[in-house]
Amino acid sequence: MTPREVLAMCREKEVKAVDLRFTDFLGAWQHFTIPVAKLEEDTFADGLGFDGSSIRGWQAINESDMLLVPEPNTAFVDPFASIPTLVMICMVQDPITREDYSRDPRNIARKAANYLKSTGIADTCFIGPEAEFFVFDDVRFDQNAHEGYFHLESVEAEWNRGRPEGPNLGYKLRHKEGYFPCPPSDQLMDVRTEMMQTMIQCGIDVEAQHHEVATAGQCEIDMRFQELVRMADQMVLYKYIVRNVARRHGKTATFMPKPLYGDNGSGMHTHISLWKAGQPLFAGTGYAGLSDMALHAIGGILRHAPAILAITNPTTNSYKRLVPGYEAPVNLAYSQRNRSASCRIPMYSANPKTKRVEFRCPDPTCNPYLSFAAILMAAIDGIQNKFHPGDPLDRDIYDMPPEELANVPKAPGSLDEACAALEADGDFLLRGDVFTDDVIKTWLKWKREKEIDPMRLRPHPYEFCLYFDA
């Protein structure tokens, strides 16, 4: 879509306002709105100014002026605005040099896609994330000097089997038994269908929606794979739609990886494949129908996985999901079909165009632009250096004897460990100036000072259960 076509769309849809959006360093959508009359063709070249010092992890106060430059091919009409509003995702630029901003996540994703082309390995990276989330009926939480708690409610939850609901109709989902039951046990079917239809209305190609394994409203909506940057755009839109449809129904959605103790957490299994001149490059005659290139890509992802996880699993809560026994891939291995391996090769079809690698570690709290870029950069490094992933593990890893399991590399057990791995093994991200040293240092500084240290300093409610009478 061209700027002129966007202006025509505004007239056709009787748009009154234009919402300009961008993704901050940690992955949240930010925005401001202008009257439609202020959107002109020149705006797409000149951009609009904003204060970059007020955005997490970005500019200092003495260099705060920045520009948002709308991307016309991202335009859509906001399905939640009461006044007709057009939305466009923007690139972030320095107003003096007009260079794309190095800490803009979308710019990093674009650089990763361009770097892939420059290597000659492939011209397209397709990404397909499977983002899971919970929909709750009520949430309360707080943390201060003298108390800390959270309280979640769901009409589906197993713990509400005996609650007086006037009337309680039963049909509560038992822990780990939420996968695919029909209504009335699945009480969110209509909500998910509305989310799915809203995504389609906004241009997202949706393949399916369903209840997930956990009790208390765990859900998943699957999108068809797209080119890397476009999929990252769609992922932030996906989260926006999920949250706002839930709110429309008087519910709330969260992408926290592990909001419930003792049940499955929410992951974002991420499928990746490389193509060139319209042909898939991961199909071949090797293990699980893979090419040597695909095996080397797996080798790169597994070798750099501890560092990648500082970006794809970026919260302290992420590592409460990455524990054995909950379909969470803590062992850095690969296999066909096997969901207990961190890299899985789906075997649903023999069509070469469907051949891909599923990296099962990521979770949906990640910044999709940074995460997809990091996974791609690890795959490229594996291909360039011909890293072989070793022998596959075609068995249930969790049932292996301890002496065998001890030889399987493990994912980091905490965000602190993952950040240390990124600090020690971040060079593969710097190639092609995709990530910069400044980006990695800023990311690590934020994670350590704003998340890891504050969590480490605070008493945990369960510590009172363990130690109050010690």
Amino acid at 442: T
Catalytic option among 243, 269, 303, 321 = 269
Residue 269: φ, ψ to 5°: -55, 130
Would you say the C-alpha torsion 402, 403, 405, 410 has a positive or negative sign?
positive
Residue 358 annotated among the catalytic residues of the structure = yes
Residue 5 annotated among the catalytic residues of the structure = no
Residue 151 annotated among the catalytic residues of the structure = no
Catalytic option among 71, 158, 212, 363 = 212
CB atoms within 10 A of CB 83: 10
Fill in the DSSP letter of residue 451: I
The rounded distance, in Å, linking the Cα atoms of 240 and 233 is 11
- Element (DSSP H or E) covering residue 232: helix 228-248
The rounded distance, in Å, linking the Cα atoms of 208 and 188 is 14
Half-sphere exposure of 432 (CA within 13 A, CB side): 24
Catalytic option among 5, 14, 51, 205 = 51
Catalytic option among 132, 158, 233, 263 = 132
Half-sphere exposure of 287 (CA within 13 A, CB side): 20
Whether 191 and 251 have beta carbons less than 8 Å apart is answered as yes
Residue 212 annotated among the catalytic residues of the structure = yes
Amino acid at 63: E
Amino acid at 336: Q
The rounded distance, in Å, linking the Cα atoms of 68 and 55 is 13
Fill in the DSSP letter of residue 315: S
Residue 156 annotated among the catalytic residues of the structure = no
Catalytic option among 104, 130, 186, 233 = 130
The candidate with the shortest Cα–Cα distance to 226, out of 311, 109, 82, is 109
Catalytic option among 358, 363, 416, 451 = 358
Residue 360 annotated among the catalytic residues of the structure = yes
The rounded distance, in Å, linking the Cα atoms of 425 and 427 is 6
* DSSP string covering 337-355: S-TTSSEEE--S---GGG-
Residue 399 annotated among the catalytic residues of the structure = no
Catalytic option among 156, 158, 186, 220 = 220
Which ranges in 89-131 belong to alpha helices (H)? 105-119
Catalytic option among 360, 363, 381, 451 = 360
Catalytic option among 175, 339, 431, 448 = 339
* Residues with catalytic roles: 51, 130, 132, 212, 220, 269, 339, 358, 360
